[in-house]
Structure 1
């Protein structure tokens, strides 16, 4: 049963140098046709498996950039979502956004269509760094757009920040955090740069032309991040996410709890009835599949019990609360300690993990080497 719904909007007015998500330039794309295809896909999916959508709690518009759409297109998209997705239990309806694409008209279209949370890609308040990573907005865009969003009626606003960027210094990172806190928002996300294949940065890295900070500097940046968030009364609830009370992302928690969600759109992924699936990525193939009366799924994989266990651990350990013992036992009919006692004891001795009757979680030190900890929970068949 899907707790969340993810809807992918693959259009961008500018492609960022680090982005490996399914996306295309907006110009000359069949945007209106794509939006109608989304409606048809949602209709087919819900009609074929209505029981999977009876308790949807969140909807998330991602991309690409949903705010690359016009106000009229946003209104039509949200109309289709409300028509085909059961909304009675939805408590969080998020949309990603770019600071230089949000007009008052678009913000009103989002709010009137049911969106109650904005997640804005700011990344840095250093203009030179923004250019190096392929962003087109200015700091003025950020200030003006957030003020406008608040004026229109949005109270749940988050911004994304990035560290470990090419040529980024600690001074630049501290200044970005200072300006971010000045906005007095209830939620912040901060991610270290990962150089992904099929990105501009990957090509530069392969040619030795990407000057990245050292691992030590990146770790120091993360340390400063956690300290500054705590100093500003923003609780860390996941490795990269911080919030005021009541503003943690419910949709993202669905992923970290390893619960099920439906994915719609070109290149979207979903996880329903223990089956992980992905859609056609090319927009033309996606639309053709939907127009022919078929769900645009190109790949399906039934998650094995072993894979489900592993996913529960490496996703759950991203949360500051960690993997909860009661939920684990209810799902797998054995305790975490029965399954992983040896590895838990080893990691606890190293100061990377802590445990009690409520479950297991990373220590503060463990958050710096999360991926290394997660790998210890991979099991053999």
Structure 2
């Protein structure tokens, strides 16, 4: 339960690193995997669907990142990756799970998708349109860095059909950026963003992160102001998580870098982001995402946290089919070997818990800044209305929720703790055997 204090945004829960909320799942045994996979792939998808394509290469490693797989070195590496990725898309081209129902969003993530050569960017995007049954309004996001993202690559992505770009700016402050392994200066970032927006062919969105070493409230406010002044279509505002396995954790522990802003300052930074975006008239699309106009939709990032199927391609990519989550071989060599043998490169699969759909429905609500036990009760079980009363009463008293008709809106403090609160609800579902 939450602590009832005068300052819920900092004191409602113990400070700790949050993980992605979820319910327990059980592994599918390797001996079972072929039959389970065959059953899942031989039937059309029943849910809204996204596709995730992982590009494993990075020209440099950011100190805070846990997604780094392999350095990018040669053009030949780019071509070989594109060849194999296209072959992987062909593996399920005649399977109902891939070819029957529309795909509503495609996301190229990584890694650094913009590390690929222009010709290969164009090829893989063309393959997506050829082998996936894209919805008419499908959002196709190409993620990456602005460093090395030249005009030729921008134009290749646009010609290939990308209608949304998500760039990992993280911060415009040159000192902060370079301390954590980012290359470009503030001036270079602004110049490249301005160039990308000048094509007027796609939504342009950036990530901003608060909590870096050397970052202050003043530098964070400047990041927000630059984002607004540039006329971007959207901004994601994330809190930095310094995980023990990251190089940044080691740098801080060894005194090579100072720790970033403390918990209280991060809470203030979050609150400032909410107020600044609201004051500028930007719309809240999800817990961390803001849009300046209707061009930005944020389909993939929202859908991926809901009751959605996800088709995965590329080394290290993760997907979901009918609640069964799977991970592909992370090592590029293992991924290539499997594809060349004509086998979908799945390394492991997890069987969902009995309440996985309820859990995803909770996550869907919380991602949109509200919690509605009545709606959950109508869809899943009448007992849910009563089952959640201890939580909603406590969180309302603690200043995390505001009653609004049959549902509860998250306060700014509740929004700051949204991940923690979602996991508490999921734990309650599991512990009360709902």
TM-score by length of 1: 0.92
- Structure 1 residues 146 and 336: alpha-carbon distance in aligned structure 2, compared to 1, 3 A threshold: farther
Q: Does 1:271 align with 2:320?
A: yes
Aligned counterpart, 1:38: 85
Alignment gaps of 5+ in structure 2: 1-44
- Structure 1 residues 304 and 89: alpha-carbon distance in aligned structure 2, compared to 1, 3 A threshold: farther
1:192 aligned to which of 239, 242, 251: 239
1:236 aligned to which of 262, 265, 284: 284
Aligned counterpart, 1:352: 400
Tell me the distance in 2 between the aligned counterparts of 1:287 and 1:306.
35
Give the match's secondary structure for 2:192.
Answer: helix
- Structure 1 residues 88 and 315: alpha-carbon distance in aligned structure 2, compared to 1, 3 A threshold: closer
Q: Does 1:7 align with 2:53?
A: yes
Aligned counterpart, 1:261: 310
Q: Does 1:105 align with 2:152?
A: yes
Q: How much has 1:371 moved relative to structure 2?
A: 3.4
Kindly provide the CA deviation profile for residues 277-330 of structure 1, in whole angstroms up to 9, marking residues without a partner as x: 00000000011011111111011112112344334324531322556864x457
- Structure 1 residues 324 and 14: alpha-carbon distance in aligned structure 2, compared to 1, 3 A threshold: farther
Q: How much has 1:358 moved relative to structure 2?
A: 5.9
1:309 aligned to which of 354, 358, 372: 358
Q: Greater CA deviation, 233-242 or 340-349?
A: 340-349
Aligned counterpart, 2:348: 299
- Structure 1 residues 334 and 262: alpha-carbon distance in aligned structure 2, compared to 1, 3 A threshold: farther
Tell me the distance in 2 between the aligned counterparts of 1:346 and 1:226.
24
Q: How much has 1:367 moved relative to structure 2?
A: 1.4
Tell me the distance in 2 between the aligned counterparts of 1:252 and 1:158.
12
Alignment gaps of 5+ in structure 1: none
Within-5 A mapping of 1:299-338 = 299-314=348-363, 316-322=365-371, 326=375, 328=376, 332-334=380-382, 336-338=384-386
Tell me the distance in 2 between the aligned counterparts of 1:306 and 1:87.
30
2:419 aligned to which of 351, 357, 371: 371
Within-5 A mapping of 1:243-258 = 243-246=291-294, 247-258=296-307
RMSD: 2.3
Q: Does 1:69 align with 2:116?
A: yes
Q: Greater CA deviation, 264-273 or 312-321?
A: 312-321
- Structure 1 residues 123 and 144: alpha-carbon distance in aligned structure 2, compared to 1, 3 A threshold: same
- Structure 1 residues 244 and 335: alpha-carbon distance in aligned structure 2, compared to 1, 3 A threshold: farther
| Alignment check: 8 A CA contact 1:104 1:152 kept | no
| Alignment check: 8 A CA contact 2:126 2:161 kept | no
Q: Greater CA deviation, 120-129 or 31-40?
A: 31-40
Aligned counterpart, 2:388: 340
Q: How much has 1:89 moved relative to structure 2?
A: 3.3
Give the match's secondary structure for 1:89.
Answer: strand
Tell me the distance in 2 between the aligned counterparts of 1:41 and 1:3.
18
Aligned counterpart, 1:91: 138
Per chain length, whose mean CA-contact separation is higher, i.e. which structure has more relative contact order (CA < 8 Å, sep 6+)?
2
- Structure 1 residues 24 and 367: alpha-carbon distance in aligned structure 2, compared to 1, 3 A threshold: same
| Alignment check: 8 A CA contact 1:9 1:66 kept | yes
Tell me the distance in 2 between the aligned counterparts of 1:44 and 1:149.
34
| Alignment check: 8 A CA contact 1:59 1:90 kept | no
TM-score by length of 2: 0.81
| Alignment check: 8 A CA contact 1:68 1:101 kept | yes
Q: Greater CA deviation, 310-319 or 31-40?
A: 310-319
Q: Does 1:126 align with 2:179?
A: no
